[in-house]
């Protein structure tokens, strides 16, 4: 079967308590089905937009060593600011420590901003330069978890 063709759903029409075998669907029934589908999609979009509204700001202070530190975040954050107050440089990853392209180096006294627009930041990974420690301040905007289904 060609995957580009959407299969016709199985529909059973019951009218006056009897199954109707006619292939034609009453236009008012079809209009109702289309409006119900559109309403469902609008509800999902509304929930997605509502999730962008921050529910609070959470301040964190951590001392980071040269081993990777994971900060799990719940509820997920929309954005955060990180300030490196330590003596050494710091490496930051968002959501995935294994992605070398997503890492950012923050020198002593510098700050780092991450804004995802939606609450999708579920963890922050931190690691100080070898043989050093770094004191960091993090200010995160919490969001509502996205439950779109």
Q: What's the rounded Cα separation, in Å, for the pair 120 and 95?
A: 9
**What is the pLDDT at residue 70?**
94
CA atoms within 13 A on the CB side of 146: 18
Q: What is the pLDDT of residues 61-98, one digit of tens each?
A: 999 999 999 999 988 999 999 999 988 899 999 988 66
- The per-residue pLDDT of the chain, averaged, comes to 86
How many Cβ atoms sit within 10 Å of the Cβ of residue 129? 18
Residue 85 tokens read as 């107050």
Sign of CA dihedral 135, 67, 97, 142: negative
Q: How far is CA 33 from CA 6, 9, 26, 40, 92, in A?
A: 17, 13, 11, 11, 48
User: What's the CATH class of domain 56-142?
Assistant: mainly beta
Q: Which residues are 61's β-sheet partners? A: 137
Domain boundaries, the chain: 13-50, 56-142
pTM for this one?
0.68
Taking a C-beta distance cutoff of 8 angstroms, is the pair 59, 139 a contact? yes
């Amino acid at each position: 079967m060609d995957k580009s063709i959407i299969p016709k759903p199985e529909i059973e029409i019951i009218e006056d308590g009897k199954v109707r075998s006619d292939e034609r669907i009453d236009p008012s029934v079809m209009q109702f089905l289309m409006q119900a589908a559109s309403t469902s999609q609008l509800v999902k979009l509304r929930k997605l937009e509502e999730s962008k509204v921050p529910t609070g700001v959470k301040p964190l202070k951590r001392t980071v060593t040269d081993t990777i530190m994971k900060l799990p975040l719940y509820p997920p954050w929309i954005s955060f600011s990180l300030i490196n107050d330590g003596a050494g440089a710091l490496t930051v990853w968002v959501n995935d420590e294994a992605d070398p392209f997503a890492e950012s180096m923050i020198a002593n006294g510098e700050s780092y901003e991450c804004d995802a627009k939606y609450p999708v930041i579920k963890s922050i990974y931190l690691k100080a330069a070898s043989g050093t420690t770094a004191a960091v301040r993090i200010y995160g905007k919490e969001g509502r978890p996205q439950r779109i289904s």
